[in-house]
Amino acid sequence: MPAHPRPLAACLAFLLAPAVACGGDSPPGSTPTPGGSATPAASGWTLVFSDEFGVPGSPDPARWNHEIGYIANDEKQYYTSRSENARVEGGTLVLEARRERWMGYDYTSARLNTKGRAEFVYGKVEIRAKLPTGRGTWPALWMLGANIDQAGWPACGETDIMENVGYDPQTIVASVHTAAYNHVQGTQKNATITVAAPWADFHVYAAEWYPDRIDAFVDGQKYFTFRNEGTGSRTWPFDKPQFLILNLAIGGTWGGQKGIDDSLFPHRLVIDYVRVYQQR
């Protein structure tokens, strides 16, 4: 999160045992639509990882890690693993930000990742989600290089599939951060798309990651492409595994630029499913 040609089948490497479905009623390789029906996955893609959030309770620990505490970006929340902040209910994952005093902070929320559980090189990620809104919210669906502990940020590479800030509620942002291109230097590569009331309905936020480019989509509409310039890892660190992150931040260097409206809590980022595909 803003702080931050070879066959794809041979490139996708998971540390997780095959886990194509985790509850839910939709068959592998199908995508629920808002009306509840299913449409086939795009030809040539095979579902290799998913969580359909069909089992109530805590997020599946075989798939998700909880990040705890204050992380970065001058954000105002303390991340916890409590059910008040992260839970599966009604066939969805709910990440809830609350206004409450906790561990010296005035807000709590949740941030989940798949580090050490599902890490991959190239593929297609789809996340169907309904966003929160209101001044101070900063939800994100994104990926980080699994070598972050060795390479550091931004050299590890970051792929932001979806970001949104509550004071600009209908603008969806996709971006990448690398050693050469990142928000600290003001050189990040990104693009935006307008989505009408993304807090009112679910939308599918997606990224397709190839050896030569990364494309971002909302509901199948492509609006961002970042191309491999062929100049090395400073511009393209995206030939190494990445892991997924889902989080709801409050305030921070971007989300808090116009303050936080305390009258709107709690806020919820609601996720219907997370799916990762590889090409046959």
Residue 235, both tokens: 């511009």
List the catalytic residues: 158, 163
